[in-house]
Structure 1
Amino acid sequence: MKEFLLVFRADYQSMPKASPEEMQANTQIWMNWIAGFAAQNKLSDRGNRLVSSGKVLKSDGIISDGPYTEIKESIMGYTLIKSTSLEEATALVQDCPILSIGGSVEIREISAM
Structure 2
Amino acid sequence: MAKFILILREDPATFASLSPDEMQAIITGYQAWSDKLARAGLLSGGEKLGEEGGRRLTSRDGTLVVSDGPYAEAKEVIGGFFIIEAADYPAAETIAAECPHLRHGVVELRRIDDMSGG
Q: Same fold (TM over 0.5)?
A: yes
Match of 2:33 in 1: 33
Question: Mean alpha-carbon deviation: is it higher for 57-66 or for 71-80?
Answer: 57-66
SS at match of 1:58: strand
Deviation at 1:36, TM superposition (A): 1.9
Distance across 1 between alignment mates of 2:81 and 2:71: 17
Q: Which amino acid aligns with 1:40?
A: A
Question: Mean alpha-carbon deviation: is it higher for 12-21 or for 87-96?
Answer: 12-21
SS at match of 2:102: helix
Q: Note if 1:50 corresponds to 2:52.
A: no
SS at match of 2:90: helix
Deviation at 1:44, TM superposition (A): 0.9
**Unmatched 5+ stretches in structure 1:** none
Aligned counterpart in structure 1 of residue 75 of structure 2, from 72, 92, 95: 72
**Unmatched 5+ stretches in structure 2:** none
Match of 1:10 in 2: 10
Deviation at 1:50, TM superposition (A): 0.8
Distance across 1 between alignment mates of 2:58 and 2:72: 14
RMSD: 1.5
Per-residue deviation, residues 21-60 of structure 1 (Å, max 9, x unmatched): 2222211111111122123211111x11112221101122
Distance across 1 between alignment mates of 2:111 and 2:72: 27
SS at match of 2:15: coil
Aligned length: 111
Distance across 2 between alignment mates of 1:48 and 1:27: 12
- Provide the TM-score with structure 2 as the length reference: 0.84
Distance across 2 between alignment mates of 1:68 and 1:87: 34
- Provide the TM-score with structure 1 as the length reference: 0.87
Distance across 2 between alignment mates of 1:56 and 1:99: 26
Q: Which amino acid aligns with 1:106?
A: E
Aligned pairs for 1:87-102 (under 5 A) are 87-101=90-104
| Identical pairs, percent | 37
